Amino acid sequence: MTTTVCDVAVIGCGAGGYRAAITAAQSGALVVLIENERVGGSCLNYACVPKKALAHIATVLCQAQTFMGAGLKGQVSGDLPAAIAFKDKVVADLRRGLPMRLKQHAIEMIKGQARLLNPHQIHVDGPDGSRVIEARRIILATGAAPRALAEVPVDHEFIVDADSFIPSLSVAPAATVLCVGGGALGVEAAFLLQEFGSEATIVTRGPRLVDRPVVSDRAAALLERRLKEIGVVVRKGLSVRQARVVGAGVDVEFSDDSTARFDRVLVAVGREPRPDDLGLQALGLVCDARGFVVTNDYLETSVPGIFAIGDLKGGPMTAAAAMHDGRVAGENAACGNTRKRNYNQVPLVLDSVVPIAAVGLSEDMAEAAGFTPDVVYIPFGGSVKARAHNDSVGFIEIVYDEETGQMLGGCIAGAGADELVHLLVAACRSRRGLWSFTDLDYGHPSWGEDMGAALDPHLVKLLRSANTLFRPGIYAAAD
């Protein structure tokens, strides 16, 4: 049997895996990347990328409709078959481009199913036969599966999950769709469905949409209001007791005894561990009660030399978090454990009818962490750019520590949030905190300018305080 020797072997070529491989290669390691299915993982094939393409079309449609009679004329609507063809091409192009990008970093791609023989050997069973990879370090990045609900059994035709939702979008949009779960996938899917001609309903157990503490209540409330305005039905504090496929539809019974029939149901209630194809149990790798792999802050598992990143190890299950993990584990595997994971600095982005992006600590989280948080609220109603864009429902919230000026986090709701949040990320990482906004110049009109103007009086107030020693520990800032 062939044996391939390398410094770092990465199992799984999703967003986290390829980021880990590239980072390790950039750090000087000889890297092998093993993937059994399509390169790109959930993110490229079923989630972030196709979703971003479809959400962008839906957003353009929304904007065009906003200006009908206010600068545009004609009529425009979503064309689902064409949109699907477009996103298929985007995904296929990117999937084709990925191996090339890996090649530039001298990363060897191996196709096949991996199984760990011991902490330094991986058996790979692929289309070109079997071989053994010998690696000084191994990074596991095989992701997770959509979490199943026994009461809503997925058949991938009428009842779909996170992996089959996007592929299930077919030439004729389903008339009525129930999204079970009001998290990121639920609010993103409902937006797409509604804009492309379906009638979407979101049902969620909790008291609000997007149950992520970094997303403020105000942002969740705005999102709910806007979803309802475009016709989405939002039912909170409710769950599905049972869903059954009957004929070409799904009969659903809710926890309040009400019933309804939908053409399709999307189960969007998070992710759970995949079956252990890798042989992790045999190696004695410690998992938590839910079955996610346990790691330390360096993302190393209970078995020295083996790292786990992304959804496989639980935690925030976004591509951005997986890529953060990839950078941390890639560097640690190549150079020794120096970098710690820190999800406070990873932005969370939602592409729904109101884009939302958030990073760091919310006011509640900051209080719980012992800070004295102050929140700067910047409504787009007063924003020149937002007025010029006919889109002034959004806002920016910035959370900082009143005593020291340390930047703690922020939440943005509104167009452009997905890029604007990077200014907040940079400030969270800066040793100057809120001060890093001092005397910045912005384009006019711009949202940056609105933010700067709203921060000015806070900066003046801080100027009068002598206490500028930040508390460490929230951000593992290298600066």
Residues forming a β-bridge with 264: 177
Amino acid present at 320? A
Query: Cβ closer to a second copy: 119 or 347?
Result: 347
- Contact between 438 and a second copy by CB under 8 A: the answer reads yes
Question: From the CB of 50, what's the least distance to a second copy, in Å?
Answer: 8
Question: From the CB of 228, what's the least distance to a second copy, in Å?
Answer: 24
28, with CB counted inside 10 A (0-12, 13-18, 19+), is exposed
Question: From the CB of 321, what's the least distance to a second copy, in Å?
Answer: 8
- Contact between 421 and a second copy by CB under 8 A: the answer reads yes
Query: Cβ closer to a second copy: 228 or 422?
Result: 422
- Provide the CA 105 distance to its chain's centre, in angstroms: 26
Query: Cβ closer to a second copy: 269 or 396?
Result: 396
Helices (H), 430-469: 447-463
| Phi/psi at 271 (5° precision) | -130, 155
Q: Which residues are catalytic?
A: 444
Mark residues 333-372: x for contact with a second copy by CB under 8 A, - for none. ------x-----xxxxx-------x---------------
Question: From the CB of 98, what's the least distance to a second copy, in Å?
Answer: 10
**Rounded to whole angstroms, how far apart are CA atoms 229 and 264?**
22
- Contact between 425 and a second copy by CB under 8 A: the answer reads yes
Contacting residue, 6, 13, 32, 83, with a second copy by CB under 8 A = 83
User: Which SS3 state, helix, strand or coil, does residue 83 take?
Assistant: helix
Question: From the CB of 302, what's the least distance to a second copy, in Å?
Answer: 26
List the interface residues with a second copy, window 234-263 (CB under 8 A): none
Question: From the CB of 393, what's the least distance to a second copy, in Å?
Answer: 15
56 token code pair: 């962008």
Residue 2: CB atoms within 10 A of its CB come to: 10
**Rounded to whole angstroms, how far apart are CA atoms 74 and 393?**
25
Query: Cβ closer to a second copy: 22 or 159?
Result: 22
Query: Cβ closer to a second copy: 221 or 460?
Result: 460
Burial 273-295 (b: 16+ CB within 10 A, else e): beebebebeebebebeeeebbeb
- Contact between 375 and a second copy by CB under 8 A: the answer reads no
Burial 106-120 (b: 16+ CB within 10 A, else e): ebbbbebbbbbeebe
Residue 206: CB atoms within 10 A of its CB come to: 15
Question: From the CB of 31, what's the least distance to a second copy, in Å?
Answer: 15
- Contact between 85 and a second copy by CB under 8 A: the answer reads yes
Q: Which one of the spans 67-75, 123-131, 229-237, 363-371 is the region binding a second copy (CB under 8 A)?
A: 67-75
**Rounded to whole angstroms, how far apart are CA atoms 263 and 158?**
7
| Nearest Cα to Cα of residue 344 among 477, 166, 475 | 475
- Contact between 432 and a second copy by CB under 8 A: the answer reads yes
User: Which SS3 state, helix, strand or coil, does residue 363 take?
Assistant: helix
Contacting residue, 237, 284, 457, 473, with a second copy by CB under 8 A = 457
- Contact between 113 and a second copy by CB under 8 A: the answer reads no
Question: From the CB of 340, what's the least distance to a second copy, in Å?
Answer: 11
Contacting residue, 127, 275, 370, 443, with a second copy by CB under 8 A = 443
Query: Cβ closer to a second copy: 277 or 419?
Result: 419
Question: From the CB of 116, what's the least distance to a second copy, in Å?
Answer: 28
Number of residues that bind a second copy (CB under 8 A): 91
Q: Which one of the spans 114-122, 146-154, 171-179, 423-431 is the region binding a second copy (CB under 8 A)?
A: 423-431
Residue 253: CB atoms within 10 A of its CB come to: 15
| Nearest Cα to Cα of residue 395 among 449, 451, 441, 346 | 451
Q: Which residue has the tokens 């011991």?
A: 118
Residue 26 makes CB contacts below 8 A (sequence gap 6+) with 105, 330
381 token code pair: 């109603």
Q: Beta strands 306-308 and 121-126: pairing type?
A: unpaired
Query: Cβ closer to a second copy: 74 or 304?
Result: 74
Query: Cβ closer to a second copy: 88 or 134?
Result: 88
Residue count (the chain): 479
List the interface residues with a second copy, window 26-65 (CB under 8 A): 26-27, 43, 48-49, 52-54, 56-57, 60-61, 63-64
Contacting residue, 72, 248, 368, 469, with a second copy by CB under 8 A = 72
Contact of 362 with 371, CB cutoff 8 Å: no
Residue 438 makes CB contacts below 8 A (sequence gap 6+) with 432, 459
List the interface residues with a second copy, window 292-331 (CB under 8 A): 318-320, 323-324, 327
- Contact between 94 and a second copy by CB under 8 A: the answer reads yes
Query: Cβ closer to a second copy: 137 or 339?
Result: 339
Q: Which one of the spans 145-153, 154-162, 270-278, 377-385 is the region binding a second copy (CB under 8 A)?
A: 377-385
